[in-house]
Every structure is written in structure tokens, then in C-alpha cells.
Structure 1
Amino acid sequence: MPVDPSIEPLLALLNSPGMPRLGAGAPDEARRTFRAMTVDLRDPATLVPVASIEDVSVGPLPGRIYRPSTAGPVPTVVFFHGGGFVLGDIDTHDDHARWICREVGAVVLSVGYRLAPESRWPEPVDDALSAVRWAAEHVDSLGGDATRIAVAGDSAGGNLAAVVAQDARDAGGPAIAAQLLLYPATDFVEEWPSMAENAEGYFLTASDMAWFSANYFPPTVDPADPRLSPLRGRLEGLPPAVVVTAEFDPLRDAGEAYAAALSAAGVPTVAHRFDGLIHGFFAMAVTSPACEKALRTSCASLRELLNSH
């Protein structure tokens, strides 16, 4: 099907001459561009309300706690932002955390892990695992239910969430009840067809991915390492998963391969492909009814997994 009409104006803007590309130039410049596209353009009146927000220190990392109006104990979702491991922070994904908090009825801990190239792989992975351990240690002051700790993330954050789920299983904890992987980067080995099909014109490009990858890990690293490409890891015994993909996304096929591999390994898996949408649609719910519907559907699936736990 064609691109959903509600996101066509945004795509036209992103593809217009002179629009800065995220995957180009110096990382600091790209970070400023990304922040201008997210934080600076965001209308505070459109932000989803939550019961409270609190900035905290997650060990040495910045964190932000979002609390729902739901009476506790409630699940705790540890959220890792996207941005190709190079861009983004707690502020750029404030809207994502708010949506998950409200729609899932969970406390959300959004974590500002270290970014590449200053902190290359596996340092962001180590940060993510440390953050989940911190959440488990402080669960009484978070959601209050140690049996319902979930991990979530979009794009690069989805990669970190998937890797952490494998790491935690192998380390014997913390126990993770569910994972929400939003258009995740799951494989740096294979050239999947969607990378060529959606290489240009749909926000995230193939050249962006090459730039992100070059900044995240050096060529000496084996791209099949499961802590880099979770699709290449052992999947048995992982927590139930919601894997979300978009039709016009270079990462679509690798994400769907991960969902299929999880299911084949006996992991309860809900896979959603949203036709007509693009990478990053979680941030487009304010202006796109189709994106909002997809967002709500994704969060509802996580809520169902956690409430059935």
C-alpha cells in the first residue's frame, strides 16, 4: 500500500532540498539537528499527560521516571531511546516514554545511555544492562512489582532492549517479564531486502544506517556477535516479546526475522507490521491518526503481556 497520507507532508519536508541529513557530518552536528527536529519543534500542549515525572541518577547515567495515574503496584518498563546509538537522549524521546506510561499503565524509567562514537560498542550495551539491574534493585520505589519488569526501546534502543533480554537471561537475572521492540535494529550481518527497497525517501535511509554503524562499532568487531546483532544469539528462554515493524522501513525485514526466530525458539511473540508507515512513527502520533493507532496497538500488546504475567 502507499505511504499513509497523514505522514506525506512530513516526508515531503524531510526530503526537501537543504534539509540536513541525520547520518552525515560530525556527530555533534547531527545531534543538534535531531534535537531541533524533536524537542525544539514539539508543542508542549500536545504531550501526553502522566501523573508525575522525576529526573534521577541511574548510577552514573541520567534517568527520568514517568508515573501513571494507575494505582500500584504496576509494571516497570525500562526504556532505551533510539538514534542510531549516536543521537538522541531522554528529552528527544520524552513523548515516547509518556505514551508508554499512559497506554501500558506502567512506570517508565527512560535511560540516557552513553553514545557513540565517544562510547562505542559494547559500552551502550553495558549501560543498558546496568540500568535494568538498577531498576530491579529499586523496583519497590518504581512500579513496585518485581515480577513485571519489562524492557523497551525504539530502533537502536530496540536493539539494546533485545540484547539486554539475552544478557539478563544468560546472567541469571534480573528477571525480565516482557520486551517491546519498536522497529529494532537486530542484525548487522545480512543485507536484507528492505534495506534496498526502502533505502531512500522514508526518513531513515541506508546511508544513515551505514553512518550509524561506522560510528557505533569498528570494522574489527564481528557483526555476528549477539550483543551487536541479537538475531544471531540464542533465543530460547527469552521473555515474551512484542516486535513492531513498519512497511517503509529499511529495518523492516531484520525486525520481522527476529520476531519469526523468537517464535520458532518457543518465545511467545506478538508481531505487528504497520503498512503505510515509516521508521520512527512513534514520534508522529500527534499529527498522524494512523501512527497513533499503531502506537496504541503496540502498547496494548505490551500491556496484555504484562497483565497476564
Structure 2
Amino acid sequence: MSNGSPLQALAHAAQKAALSAAMSLPPSVQRRLAGSPVVLDGQTLAVDTQLMLKLQKLSGDPPIETMAFPDGRVQARVQTAMAGGKQPIGAVRDLEVAGLPARLYTPRARVSVAVRQPPAPLLVFFHGGGFFFGDLDTHDATCRILAERGEALVLAVDYRLAPEHRFPAAYDDAVAAYRWAVEHVEELGVDRDRIAVGGDSAGGNLAAGVALEAARSGLPCAFQLLVYPATDATRATESLRLFGAGFYLSAEFMELANDSYMTEGLDPRDPRLSPAYADVPEGVAPAYVCTAGFDPLRDEGEAYARKLSDAGVTVELKRFEDQIHSFFNIVGVGRSSRAAVAEIADRLRAGLAPRA
């Protein structure tokens, strides 16, 4: 699949318009369209999310895990563009970070003031995508919200993807990118004492690994933002059994992610791959860990939060009970997912606030 023929572009535009209209309907109307509430494990799926899943099924679009890698990557960009919308931002600049493509987001408050401002807080961000898809574009809308509402610079990094580049390529890239950010604080206009690392899903896995490495090597890291992080490649969880089909992220997708990224003979408990099995050193940054109620990754993310807390790390754990995996990208349509992302951005702002 290329970027799309004119006919495909027209179809995507129509699909986007239908999604936007449906997700803007009053909740009572959405309920009639979505059907009976989905209740599982004592949780009720958000009605707008339930309707979105129904529309996705009706669209006939094949799941990404069933597509060839190049096609799936294009499909991911199409889907996230539909769900992300156009989000305001002060400035966006593409740059190279440790030899990797990257994108720096600056909130409007930092570009609209004529006077020189003090150094800014920074979030070094790694996108999700199972280690085999995702890029700067799939998470562009969300990074804009994190920057604007979080009142921080956001440096999104496009690490190497599997299966072209298998473990530990993504991990090595993430550590190198974070080191680069620390070494270039003056160039970026960043406060060295207010640097955070964050990511979602596979990116949350990388962010968790970077936070551990920062503590081991003495790099400054003030905060870690982990959004439904993948933390345990053994995947023996009840949430995978409960939510591995019908809620966007599937058990088949997760199996493909492991098969694509892991090398033959690799122990899935390697701590660079599975932070759940890592030793927690002294000085690990405070963490905000959030999960989604209807997400196969829910239990491993929450177990990792408990692991950090048991090791003495300051941790805030939040489960968005009515959400699915990928809600972090749904910021341009609907209500419930965008509200959750706004809350996450608020926690970023609080985590990087100047210390008294």
C-alpha cells in the first residue's frame, strides 16, 4: 500500500467524517447505536469507545496484524490521523537526535512571549506500536496535547523498528536518544533538572527501561510517564485472557510483536525487554503509570507500578476503567479518551513543576 490512490483518499475522508459525526453525538444516541453496554471484569466500556469499535468493524478494514508490515504502517498512520485530528501547537521542528529522526514540540506559551524565558521542562517521548509500527506521525496529535496542556517541550523520537531491526535496537536507540537530550539541554533551552521520559505501550516499555538506566548511570530524570506500558514479554496475565479479542489490541497482535522484535533464543525475561524482571536501582524517577480497563496489557502495567512502589519509588497508578488500548491516540474525536489524555497531560505538568 502506498500513501493511497485518490479513491482511497476519498474513502478515508468519508470514513473520517462518519467517525467524527458519530463520536460527536449525544451519549444517549451513541448508546442506541452502539447497543447494550459492554460490561466485563466489573467495568463498563465507554459508550463512545464502544461505538467506535463497532464502526471500525463495519468499515471492513483488516487488523494491522494481518497486513504486510509496510501496509500496516500506512494503515496505522491513516487510523491515527482519523482519531487524532488537528491539535494546536506553538511550534514544531524536525531534527536529528542521536542519528534518529525526531520532532520537537513547543507549546504556544513559549513562542508567543517576546521576553526571554527560563529553561523549559522536557518530555522525551517514545511512541507505541508493538516495536514494528508507529512513527512521529502516528503520535503527532497526542504529543501536541502533551506539550500544550503539559506546559513542556516534547521531544518525540523515531527509533528503529522490527523486524528490520530486532532487539535490542529499539532499547539502544531509546537510551542513546535520552542521553542526547541530556547532553543538549542548552541547545534545546531545557532545564536539566526537569527532564522526563515517557511513552505508550512499546514506547512505555522503552521509557521504563530508560528511567532505570538513567538511575544506574546518574543521568538526570525527574519523572516517568508510562501509558499502558508493555513490561512483561511472557504475557501470562488474566487481562490478556479477558481482553485479547474484540478491544482493538489483540492477542495475535501481541504475539506478532514478540515474534518480530525478539531474536531467536532470547529470554523474554531479559530486563531490557521486560522491565518487570529488572532490578530497581536507587534514585529511579517518580512514575505516573496509567492503564486501560479493557486492555490486554492492563495487568502487566499495574504489576510494574507495584514493583516500583515496593522498591521505594514514588508511584501514582491510574486505571481508566472504561478505555481500551490505543485511547492515548484518540484525541480528535469523542469525549472519554480525550478527557483521559487531558488528565495524563495534567499529571505530566505536575510531575515537571518547579521544585520549591
TM-score by length of 2: 0.82
2:300 is equivalent to residue 258 of structure 1: no
CA distance in 2, matches of 1:282, 1:18: 23
Q: In the alignment, what sits opposite 1:29?
A: 71
* Residue 234 (structure 2) aligned to one of 189, 192, 207: 189
Paired residue type of 2:208: A
Moved over 4 A (4+): none
Q: CA deviation at 1:47?
A: 2.3
**CA root-mean-square deviation:** 1.5
Provide closer, same or farther for how the CA distance between residues 184 and 293 of structure 1 changes in structure 2, counting only shifts above 3 A.
same
Q: In the alignment, what sits opposite 2:276?
A: 231
Q: Which aligned pairs between 1:1-309 and structure 2 lie closer than 5 A?
A: 1-16=43-58, 18-39=60-81, 41=82, 46-68=85-107, 69-70=109-110, 71-173=117-219, 175-237=220-282, 238-307=284-353, 309=355
Superposed CA offset, 1:256-305 (max 9, x none):
00111111111011111001110011111222221122112112122212
CA contact (8 A) 1:76 1:143 kept: no
Aligned pair count reads: 305
CA distance in 2, matches of 1:33, 1:207: 17
Task: Please say which structure displays the higher CA radius of gyration.
Answer: 2
Q: CA deviation at 1:59?
A: 2.7
Provide closer, same or farther for how the CA distance between residues 196 and 308 of structure 1 changes in structure 2, counting only shifts above 3 A.
farther
SS at match of 2:61: coil
Provide closer, same or farther for how the CA distance between residues 14 and 169 of structure 1 changes in structure 2, counting only shifts above 3 A.
same
CA distance in 2, matches of 1:80, 1:201: 26
CA contact (8 A) 1:186 1:230 kept: yes
TM-score by length of 1: 0.94
SS at match of 2:66: coil
CA distance in 2, matches of 1:133, 1:11: 39
Unaligned ranges ≥5, structure 2: 1-42, 111-116
CA contact (8 A) 1:24 1:211 kept: no
CA distance in 1, matches of 2:209, 2:57: 32
Q: In the alignment, what sits opposite 2:34?
A: none
Paired residue type of 1:141: E
CA contact (8 A) 2:204 2:228 kept: yes
Give the share of equivalent positions with the same residue, in percent.
Answer: 43
Unaligned ranges ≥5, structure 1: none
